[in-house]
Amino acid sequence: KTLPRSQSEKIHKKIPNSKLIVIERAGHYSPVEKAPEINDHIIDFLKK
């Protein structure tokens, strides 16, 4: 589920070592609409 950016930023600040990635102009179908960008972030995360 997507959250307003302000809520995401609040959560991010409370989780140590977290990383907040904002996908611009993405909505509820972001895994479909922005698949290449999201996949790149997931792959980077899995490599760590």
Provide the token pair at 4.
């307003």
Joined tokens for residue 26: 């993405």
Hey, how many other C-beta atoms are within 10 angstroms of the C-beta on 45?
A: 10
* pLDDT mean by block of 10 residues, the chain; 48 residues: 86 96 84 92 95
Task: Say what the pLDDT of residue 1 is.
Answer: 59
Give dist(CA 23, CA 37) in Å, integer: 8
Q: Which of 30, 6, 8 is nearest to 21 (CA)?
A: 8
Q: Is the dihedral of CA 39, 44, 15, 10 positive or negative?
A: negative
- Residue spans per domain, the chain: 5-47
pTM of the model: 0.71
The reported pLDDT for the residue numbered 10 is 96
